[in-house]
């Protein structure tokens, strides 16, 4: 069957691999030039943290080794207090569990190579979708080119052109909600050829209303991202103001950022949006148009699940095609059940922003995390924290929430929590 995918980003490329493996002829249309060619422009460069859902999807295609080889494992968070004190907080009771830092561009190149190496996959760059007729399957591109398809899948991100067409149809619900926060990327370069901070951690500077994070890169630099209220970002309009704020609020990082002012002034402000759409597909006669990944459910980055969720979408759609004998209209209908899961992670991602920028610095929060890990160790396979289930399992997101609710009720009922809290605190104290 011939399938058209709009968008050759992370999810579009991975989906092409899954579909080609099923024997379909896949054409990918991408509005940008080929990122593997020299001089190709950026797009979003924010670092990603690939965790179990993403790794599981890659593993099914034999791509996990190559991706993890280009990534840096981060088994925990390193909190930077205002006075420079560092606190390492493991993500899991299992020391082998880590999330994996990788640049979006590098990951996209690996997936593009993988897709183009599959039989039957064709990628057309510099093809920006400008028109889609969901009744005839006619596609129009900015270049003037046209095409026709019976199956069109929009993997074209938060500002999806495919979704723009679906949204205009009666009966398609849609919602976009921006945070009052923007993000801006900065850099901590290597120091004397080495990492300037511990590379095995996701660094966080929680500052109440605002925060900065930093993820390690293979070249021994760190990509830092500020998540600040838009007004705060705009207020730093002189080198003096930029330096003064960083010296006051991020003093340890400030020392490590020689290019701070230059990068702050040159780099654009990104926006943080949650988008919800329902349904994700429309079938009209012979033609089916559907959405996947950010095009269907863009989320904010604070749980590190955007790409992981999009990759899991591909696994789930592959499963729906199994169940329906590769009938795309029926498979995309089945795939709609996944909305229960993507709605959950959208909410958790928003909630986690408050946790990251504010709560992670508090003693109570840290004690709670230690309690959770103590419970996990005491009750292996029976108790698992929300973070554990989201990041280190492939339990559906909605089932994660049901399980977390059950566990809390049970822990409260047995009073076990209090006992283990005491034990956990004691043990931690002993270890110090």
- Give whichever of 170 and 325 is closer to a second copy, judged by the CB atom: 170
Binding to a second copy (CB under 8 A) within 212-231 occurs at 230
Contact (CB, 8 A) for 205 and 245: no
> Does residue 45 belong to the site contacting a second copy (CB under 8 A)?
no
CA–CA distance, 12 with 276 (Å, rounded to integer): 19
Among 41, 171, 381, 415, binds a second copy (CB under 8 A): 171
Residue from 178, 265, 422, 427 touching a second copy (CB under 8 A): that is: 178
Burial status of residue 280 (CB atoms within 10 A of its CB: 0-12, 13-18, 19 or more): buried
- Closer Cβ to a second copy, 39 or 171, answer by number: 171
Smallest gap from residue 316 Cβ to a second copy (A): 25
Q: Does 170 bind a second copy (CB under 8 A)?
A: yes
110-169 residues in contact with a second copy (CB under 8 A) are 159, 167-168
235 part of the interface to a second copy, by CB under 8 A: no
- Find the part of the chain contacting a second copy (CB under 8 A) among 61-69, 172-180, 324-332, 353-361: 172-180
Considering the complex, state which of residue 168 and residue 340 has its C-beta at the smaller distance from a second copy: 168
Q: Does 172 bind a second copy (CB under 8 A)?
A: yes
The yes or no reply on residue 350 touching a second copy (CB under 8 A) is no
Q: Which stretch binds a second copy (CB under 8 A): 83-91, 141-149, 175-183, 380-388?
A: 175-183
CA nearest to 47, candidates 23, 72, 65, 25: 72
Using CB under 8 A, pick the residue from 36, 135, 209, 271 that binds a second copy.
271
Distance, C-alpha 268 to centroid of its chain: 20
Contact present, 161 and 130 (Cβ < 8 Å): yes
Question: 10 Å Cβ neighbour count for 244?
Answer: 13
Tokens coding 40: 């190709």
- Using CB under 8 A as the binding rule, whether residue 85 contacts a second copy is answered as no
The answer to the question of residue 105 lying near a second copy (CB under 8 A) is no
Residue placing its CB nearer to a second copy in the complex, 191 or 276: 276
- Token pair 């959950």 is found at 344
CA-nearest of 417, 356, 416 to 387 is 356
Which of 38, 39, 144, 175 forms a contact with a second copy (CB under 8 A)? Answer: 175
Identify which of residues 88 and 174 has a Cβ nearer to a second copy in the complex.
Answer: 174
**88 lies in the site for a second copy, by CB under 8 A:** no
Minimum distance between the CB of residue 337 and a second copy, rounded to whole angstroms? Answer: 18
CB of 272 to a second copy, least distance (A): 9
**Residue 298 near residue 273, CB atoms below 8 Å:** yes
What's the burial of 120, exposed, middle or buried (CB within 10 Å: 0-12/13-18/19+)? middle
Query: CA-to-CA distance for 113 and 409, rounded, in angstroms?
Result: 48
Q: Does 177 bind a second copy (CB under 8 A)?
A: yes
46 near a second copy (CB under 8 A): no
Give yes or no for a contact between 382 and 432, defined as CB atoms under 8 angstroms apart: no
The distance of closest approach from Cβ of residue 175 to a second copy in the complex, given in angstroms and rounded to an integer, is: 4
One DSSP character per residue, 206-219 reads EETTEEEEEEE-TT
238 binds a second copy (CB under 8 A): no
Cα distances from 417 to residues 276, 314, 380, 408, in angstroms, run 37, 38, 15, 9
241 phi/psi in degrees, rounded to 5: -65, -40
Q: Give yes or no for residue 70 binding a second copy (CB under 8 A).
A: no
Binding site for a second copy (CB under 8 A): 159, 167-168, 170-178, 230, 271, 273
């Amino acid at each position: 069957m011939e399938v058209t995918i709009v968008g050759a980003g992370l999810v579009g490329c991975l989906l092409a691999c899954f579909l080609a493996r099923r024997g379909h002829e896949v054409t990918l249309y991408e509005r940008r030039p080929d990122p593997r060619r020299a001089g190709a422009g950026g797009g979003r460069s924010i670092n990603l943290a690939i965790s179990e859902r993403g790794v599981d999807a890659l593993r099914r295609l034999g791509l996990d080794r190559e991706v993890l080889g280009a990534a840096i494992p981060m088994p925990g968070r390193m909190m930077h207090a205002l006075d420079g004190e560092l606190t390492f907080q493991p993500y899991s009771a299992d020391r082998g569990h880590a999330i994996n830092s990788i640049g979006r561009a590098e990951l996209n190149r690996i997936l593009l190579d993988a897709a183009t190496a599959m039989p039957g996959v064709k990628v057309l760059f510099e093809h920006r979708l400008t028109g889609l007729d969901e009744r005839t399957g006619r596609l129009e591109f900015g270049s003037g080119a046209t095409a026709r398809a019976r199956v069109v899948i929009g993997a074209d991100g938060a500002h999806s052109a495919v979704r723009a067409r679906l949204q205009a149809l009666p009966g398609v619900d849609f919602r976009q909600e921006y945070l009052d926060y923007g993000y801006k990327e900065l850099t901590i370069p290597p120091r004397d050829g080495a990492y300037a901070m511990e590379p095995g951690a996701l660094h966080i500077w929680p500052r109440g209303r605002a925060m900065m994070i930093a993820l390690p890169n293979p070249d021994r630099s760190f990509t830092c991202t500020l998540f600040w209220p838009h007004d705060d970002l705009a207020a730093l309009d002189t080198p003096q103001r930029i330096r003064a704020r960083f010296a006051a609020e991020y003093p340890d990082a400030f020392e490590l950022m020689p290019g701070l002012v230059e990068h702050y002034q040159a780099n654009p402000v990104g926006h943080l949006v949650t988008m919800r759409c329902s349904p994700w597909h429309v079938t009209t006669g012979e033609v089916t148009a559907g959405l996947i990944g950010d095009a269907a459910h863009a989320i904010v980055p604070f749980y590190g699940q955007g790409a992981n969720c999009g990759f899991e979408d591909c696994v789930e759609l592959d499963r729906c095609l199994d169940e329906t004998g590769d009938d795309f209209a029926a498979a995309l209908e089945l795939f709609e059940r996944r909305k229960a899961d993507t709605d959950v992670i959208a909410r958790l991602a928003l909630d986690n922003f408050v946790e990251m920028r504010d709560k992670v610095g508090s003693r109570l929060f840290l004690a709670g995390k230690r309690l959770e890990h103590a419970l996990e160790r005491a009750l292996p396979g029976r108790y698992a924290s929300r973070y554990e289930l989201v990041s280190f399992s492939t339990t559906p997101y909605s089932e994660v929430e049901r399980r977390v609710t059950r566990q809390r009720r049970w822990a409260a009922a047995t009073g076990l929590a209090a006992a283990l809290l005491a034990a956990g605190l004691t043990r931690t104290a002993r270890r110090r």
